[in-house]
Structure 1
Amino acid sequence: MFALAAVAIATGVLGLLGKLPRNPILGVTTEAALHSDENFRIANRIAAPTSVGAGFLLFAGGLVALVANGFAALGIAVVVAVIAVFTLGAGANAAARAVEPLLPPAPVGGCGSACGGCSIRETCEPATSA
């Protein structure tokens, strides 16, 4: 739990400072967030407080689990881990919703890039005048 707490806190602090490099593993990794460095920075700044909070929850849960014995320690660890995951998810969801409007609009007309393997490609293509 302490290792997970350290990762969550470090990710949150780096995200808050705008220093977390764009990557597909740590931080908010939705398609919208990974679209550009700016989107990634914005998304992770938004999610940073919940990441740090989840890290502190994991750290506190680890301390309590160390003091508790037997099944109580396991139960505390599981409950705290579940709460931390939901906390991280809430922050990631808020961040994803915030950067979604920053994506460029989808192309209008035709099938976009899907026509390459489409069996009804002729139907999707714009009509040509002869």
Structure 2
Amino acid sequence: MIVVAVVLFVLALAVGGVAVAGLIGKLPRNRWAGIRTPDTLRSEESFALANKVAGPTMAAAAGLLVLGGIGALTMSTAMGLGIALVAVVGAVFTAGFGGSIGARAAAALPEQSGCGNDCNCGHTEEPAAETPEAKANAADCGTGSCGACSLKDACQPTH
């Protein structure tokens, strides 16, 4: 039962760390931690918002894992395993619920078009298809929009 408790405590530490980093806005966009959907990964702002919204439920999931670890240590083997299992299932559902709310919050953010005044993709006084830059860029991806294909987000500031 000690192994089960240690695993739950380590998971709680990891989930709690992600929760705190998300809540304070210090969780960078990455491949492994946080809410990772197409909507949350489209910008730093949407990723930060989703993880800030999901932070409280992620912290609750970490708390459930700690309770499961304590139960595994203090109860009989059968009862401890039961408590640990209930804690893991509860933590997964709690984190999933928070993640879905965070993903919906990120989806509600207006999507940036990818075009700006300095992207040389047709956002000028002339119509987009008539500027030399727009024609060259449209030939690269087959469309007249700098927000499409390979030019998607080409004009976004880098962080």
Range into which the TM-score falls when normalised by the shorter chain:
0.7 to 0.9
Paired residue for 1:39, among 32, 42, 46?
46
1:29 correspondence with 2:36: yes
**Corresponding letter in the other structure for 1:81:** V
Unaligned stretches of 5+ residues in structure 2: 1-7, 114-147, 150-159
Match of 1:20 in 2: 27
1:41-80 equivalences in 2 (<5 Å): 41-80=48-87
CA shift at 1:101, angstroms? 2.5
Normalized per residue, the structure richer in helix is: 1
Match of 1:120 in 2: none
Question: Which of 1 and 2 has higher RCO (CA within 8 Å, sep 6+)?
Answer: 1
Match of 1:11 in 2: 18
CA shift at 1:60, angstroms? 1.3
Separation in 2, partners of 1:25, 1:90: 18
Separation in 2, partners of 1:105, 1:26: 24
1:88-107 CA-to-partner distances (Å, cap 9, x unmatched) read 0010000111111225389x
Separation in 2, partners of 1:17, 1:105: 24
Match of 1:126 in 2: none
4+ runs deviating over 3 angstroms: none
Calculate the aligned-residue CA RMSD, in Å.
1.8
Distance 1:105 1:16, change over 3 A: closer
